[in-house]
């Protein structure tokens, strides 16, 4: 590979690393081509991509990004999973694929500039998806006005009930 090609790969990779909010390093030594394509397709469905890059080029590209904290892990052949939107969905797909294919080893990751261990990545995969969390947020937001209306209507309702009981008591006394 000539120097110009390497520089182009580094600049493209650096742009992707700057845009990505989640990156996960994986080891893929024993995986065949079919399984790598299956992993790429699963990640693509979840708005993520898998990049296999030389460690030296990845180290150079990560220098001015949040991925620089992973530089110590660029030792063995690694693949980088990059997500640009919701970090949970691609993490779920990656962890699920790793459970079915033990030759894929999840090493470490970075989420918004913070380093993630393998346990952190697994915990992130166990979170509910973005749509589920938004649904819960909407239900909580809808519950507040409903509760407020219920509380505010309780005072007049109680007052009306007291007046009704008083009027019934008066009627029984007058009869």
The 10s digit of each residue's pLDDT in 87-105 is 888 999 999 999 998 888 9
Are the CB atoms for 36 and 80 separated by under 8 Å?
no
Same domain, 156 and 119: no
* pTM for this entry: 0.71
Same domain, 118 and 136: no
Taking the alpha carbons of 31, 32, 36, 39 in that order, is the dihedral positive or negative? Answer: negative
Taking the alpha carbons of 4, 74, 48, 114 in that order, is the dihedral positive or negative? Answer: negative
User: Left, alpha or beta for 66 (phi > 0: left; psi -120 to 50: alpha)?
Assistant: alpha
The span from the CA of 97 to the CA of 101, in Å, is 6
**Residue that the structure tokens 């006005």 belong to:** 145
Same domain, 97 and 166: no
- Choose the final residue of a domain: 110, 127, 144: 127
| Residue-level pLDDT at 82 | 93
Same domain, 92 and 9: yes
The span from the CA of 2 to the CA of 5, in Å, is 6
User: pLDDT per position in the chain (175 positions), as tens?
Assistant: 788 998 999 999 999 989 999 999 998 887 888 999 999 999 999 889 999 988 898 889 888 888 889 888 888 888 999 998 888 889 999 999 999 988 889 999 999 889 999 999 999 888 887 778 788 888 888 877 877 778 888 888 888 888 888 888 888 888 7
| Residue-level pLDDT at 116 | 92
| Residue-level pLDDT at 107 | 92
| Residue-level pLDDT at 6 | 87
Domain at 62, CATH number = 3.30.70.1730
| Residue-level pLDDT at 172 | 85
Same domain, 112 and 41: yes
Same domain, 27 and 85: yes
Are the CB atoms for 62 and 71 separated by under 8 Å?
yes
For residue 160, give its domain range: 130-175
Number of domains the chain is built from: 2
Same domain, 41 and 53: yes
| Residue-level pLDDT at 43 | 92
Same domain, 35 and 54: yes
Residues 6+ apart with CB under 8 A from 70: 23, 25, 62, 108, 109, 110, 115
Are the CB atoms for 25 and 79 separated by under 8 Å?
yes
Same domain, 12 and 63: yes
Same domain, 10 and 36: yes
Same domain, 122 and 135: no
Same domain, 114 and 141: no
DSSP assignment of 56-81, as one string? HHHHHHTTTSGGGGGGGG-SS-EEEE
- Choose the final residue of a domain: 90, 112, 127: 127
| Residue-level pLDDT at 93 | 92
């Amino acid at each position: 590979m000539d120097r110009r090609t390497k520089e182009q790969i580094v600049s493209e990779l650096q742009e992707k690393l700057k845009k990505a909010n989640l990156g996960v390093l994986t080891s893929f030594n024993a995986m065949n081509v079919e399984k790598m394509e299956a992993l790429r397709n699963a990640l693509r469905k979840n708005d993520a991509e898998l990049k296999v890059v030389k460690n030296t080029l990845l180290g150079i590209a990560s220098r001015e990004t949040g991925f620089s904290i992973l530089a110590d892990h660029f030792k063995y052949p690694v693949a980088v999973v990059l997500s640009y939107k919701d970090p949970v969905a691609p993490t779920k797909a990656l962890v699920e694929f790793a459970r079915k294919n033990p030759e894929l080893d999840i090493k470490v990751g970075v989420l918004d500039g913070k380093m993630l261990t393998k346990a952190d990545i697994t915990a992130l995969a166990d979170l509910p998806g973005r749509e589920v969390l938004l649904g819960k947020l909407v239900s909580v937001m809808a519950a507040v006005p409903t509760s407020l209306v219920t509380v505010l209507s309780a005072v007049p309702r109680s007052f009306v009930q007291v007046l009704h009981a008083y009027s019934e008591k008066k009627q029984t006394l007058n009869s």
